[in-house]
Amino acid sequence: EIVLTQSPGTLSLSPGERATLSCRASQSVSSSYLAWYQQKPGQAPRLLIYGASSRATGIPDRFSGSGSGTDFTLTISRLEPEDFAVYYCQQYGSSPWEFTFGPGTKVDIK
């Protein structure tokens, strides 16, 4: 079973600042199946990044993803007020069959 660890747990930043979120896997994961989601209070998650680095439809280019193997990063280049939320990474593994989410990183206003 692959465990995803996200750091930091909480990131306190100001609008306009750069946010760097980390997702680390206990074993190597396929970049093709590494995704990032944003969730705001009371809302469903929204897909931001798939395939480790591809933006989903309608996602602004201030969001970018990178990484491979066991280390992945979500970067928000300049935080907008609407970006303060919780971010989850997620992977799919076939052996065993599992879809695993990380515990999340909360980006809040400093």
Partner 1 sequence: EVQLVESGGGLVQTGGSLRLSCAASGFTFTNYWMSWVRQAPGKGLEWVANIKQDGSGSYYVDSVKGRFTISRDNAKNSLYLQVNSLRAEDTAVYYCARYQWSVGAFDIWGQGTMVTVSS
Q: Find the shortest distance in angstroms from Cβ 74 to partner 1.
A: 13
The DSSP 8-state label assigned to residue 56 in this structure reads P
Do 12 and 109 touch, CB atoms closer than 8 A? yes
Please identify, using beta-carbon distances, which residue of 10 and 15 lies nearer to partner 1: 10
The backbone torsions φ and ψ at residue 8, rounded to the nearest 5 degrees and listed phi first, read -75, 175
Which one, 20 or 100, has the nearer CB to partner 1?
100
Q: Answer yes or no: are the C-beta atoms of 64 and 71 closer than 8 Å.
A: no
Binding site for partner 1 (CB under 8 A): 30, 32-35, 37, 39, 43-47, 50-51, 54, 56, 88, 90, 92, 97-104
CB of 17 to partner 1, least distance (A): 25
Residue 14 to residues 17, 23, 74, Cα–Cα distance (Å): 6, 22, 17
Minimum Å gap between C-beta 40 and partner 1 is 12
Nearer to partner 1, 40 or 78 (CB): 40
